[in-house]
Chain A
Amino acid sequence: MKVLLALALLGLGGLLGLGIAGLWPRPEPQDPEPVARAWGVANAVAAVVLGVRLWDTLFEVLVYVVAMVGVRFFLGGLRWRGELPPVAETPLLRRAADLLLGPILVFALYLAASGHLGPGGGFPAGALLGSALLLLALAKGVERLSQELYEPRLESLEYLAVALLLFLGAVVLIFLVRAPAAFIAANLLIALEVAIGAWAVLHRFASARGEV
């Protein structure tokens, strides 16, 4: 075991050294500015993710949704039998959740809405929203938050977001729409979908106590 660990560490260190030494050939960087300009946005990454490579992103979202559905399907029937160990209420967490929840939500919305202008976009915004829900779950307890969020309605909201996203993608791909409005809408939908998906997975894992 120790030998294996040492070998793994050595390998990792070697990879790191190779990367730093620049021994691997790097692809010739293309100038991203013309791409961004062609799609009418300021952030070249957004132009690539939601423009040039929209197909990739749509399939990525689909993979994510399939994973969520799989988690719901397979962990849904796995309810923890008996009483869950009580989660202690700590005033520190309650207070931290009170203070941080608002700023996190606003920042997540900002990230999603400004993804076409600067760093950001739907995926980090969704992860941030998911973190906000997790913070609430830590402070309140998972089951209570799940009841307050109306879980089934949340689930249909997620599927609705995915359907809208696919529709939007189809419109962009078929009619070659190149407008910032499409980027904003796509980022917001992705954020919604990622946040709800993260919450669903977490809730399932937590209520099955992570045991499969």
Chain B
Amino acid sequence: MVAVLLSALAFALALFALTRKRLLWGVIGVGAHSLVLAGLYLVLAAPDVALTEAAVGFGLVTFVYLLALRRTGKLVVAASPLYPLLYPEGERIAGLEWEILARFARWCHRDLEVIWVPRAEIPRLVRSGEAHLGAGGFLPNAEPDLRYTRTLVPTRLVRVRGGEGPLGAVAGEPSPPQLDGEKKLFEDAAELAKALARGEVGSALTDLLHLREWVMRDLFPEAEVQVFPEELGFAFALNPEDEELWAGLEEFLAELERRGELAELVRRYLE
């Protein structure tokens, strides 16, 4: 009877380990599975086998997996939130880039972790290796020592004029050549929108996707919008020394594009 119960438990733990999205939980599941198996052998009057199973399956194998997870198991993404590319939704994270990244992480067997930072912080984090990728509301700004992937979502810069006053922009974002002058810088687009609403700045420099969010929330109904002709696009930023990640991500994106899934994702999230 005990043997049957332990078998069922081992089976359930194996299923648990197989279905976990987070690798660490999978490893813990496999370890617990080994321990239950050891108990099963003990019940079946094979203490020697039980000991070996516990030492190898629970001890050695779990440690090897843990070491591997510590070495390469994470894919840290530094991002500034932008609806609908990459944004927190309650406890979860959602968005177009999230879907791509989640699939990429599964593809290369890494645990995805997103840290939310202001736009201007992303290049520093990626350069120093604290984050592997920059994403979210990240418009390439010809930063040195950064490498960008192909454009995921094309966009353009826009200037939203609400009244008289200085021009506000998000620190680190690109700017069109005709607006090279003095700007008031803000940490992120939400701060910028608040400042524009308060009248602290007369106009705000942003992009079509942020504008879309503002329009959807009906923030500045009377504002005048000027769209600049330069073509830009949201992309992932990588450290150029991380050749391997770069090649992997490019291959993955090319495959997505080839199968038309990238266009499908863009259509689903942006139309």
User: Which residues of A are interface residues toward B (Cβ below 8 A)?
Assistant: 9, 12-13, 16, 20, 43, 45, 82, 84-85, 87-88, 111, 118-121, 123-125, 127-128, 130-131, 134-135, 137-138, 142, 198, 202, 205-206, 209-210
Contact in complex: A134, B67 (CB < 8 Å): yes
**Least Cβ–Cβ distance between B207 and chain A, in angstroms:** 33
- A20 to B202 Cα, complex, angstroms: 77
- Partner of A202 from B3, B50, B64 at Cβ < 8 Å: B64
Q: Interface size on B (CB < 8 Å)?
A: 25
Contact in complex: A20, B4 (CB < 8 Å): yes
Contact in complex: A123, B60 (CB < 8 Å): no
Known: A124-B54, A127-B60. A45 touches B48 (CB 8 A): yes
Contacts of A198 in B (CB 8 A): 60
Q: Using an 8 Å CB-CB cutoff, how does the interface string of B46-81 with A read, 1 for contact, 0 for none?
A: 011011101110011001101110111000000000
**Least Cβ–Cβ distance between B125 and chain A, in angstroms:** 14
Contacts of A209 in B (CB 8 A): 71-72
Q: Number of A-B pairs whose CB atoms are under 8 Å?
A: 76
Main secondary structure on B side of the interface with A: helix
Main secondary structure on A side of the interface with B: helix
- A210 to B15 Cα, complex, angstroms: 26
B241 within 8 A of A: yes
- A91 to B15 Cα, complex, angstroms: 33
- Partner of A142 from B4, B67, B129 at Cβ < 8 Å: B67
**Least Cβ–Cβ distance between B70 and chain A, in angstroms:** 6
Q: Which residues in chain B, 61-103, are within 8 Å of chain A measured between CB atoms?
A: 63-64, 66-68, 70-72
Q: Which residues in chain B, 1-35, are within 8 Å of chain A measured between CB atoms?
A: 3-4, 7, 11, 15
- A69 to B15 Cα, complex, angstroms: 35
Contacts of A118 in B (CB 8 A): 47
- Of all chain A residues, the one with the shortest Cβ separation from B50 is A119
- A118 to B51 Cα, complex, angstroms: 11
Contact in complex: B70, A210 (CB < 8 Å): no
- Of all chain B residues, the one with the shortest Cβ separation from A132 is B59
- A97 to B158 Cα, complex, angstroms: 57
Contact in complex: A13, B11 (CB < 8 Å): yes
Known: A13-B11, A134-B64, A209-B71. A82 touches B48 (CB 8 A): no
- A128 to B3 Cα, complex, angstroms: 26
Could you pull out 21 A-B pairs where Cβ atoms are within 8 angstroms?
A: A20-B4, A20-B7, A87-B70, A87-B71, A119-B47, A119-B48, A120-B51, A121-B48, A123-B52, A123-B56, A124-B51, A124-B56, A131-B60, A131-B63, A134-B63, A134-B64, A138-B66, A205-B64, A205-B68, A209-B71, A210-B71
- Partner of B55 from A131, A137, A138, A205 at Cβ < 8 Å: A131
Contacts of B3 in A (CB 8 A): 20
- A119 to B52 Cα, complex, angstroms: 9
Of B7, B63, B129, the most chain A CB neighbours within 10 A belong to B63
**Least Cβ–Cβ distance between B58 and chain A, in angstroms:** 9
Q: Which residues in chain B, 172-192, are within 8 Å of chain A measured between CB atoms?
A: none
Contacts of B54 in A (CB 8 A): 124
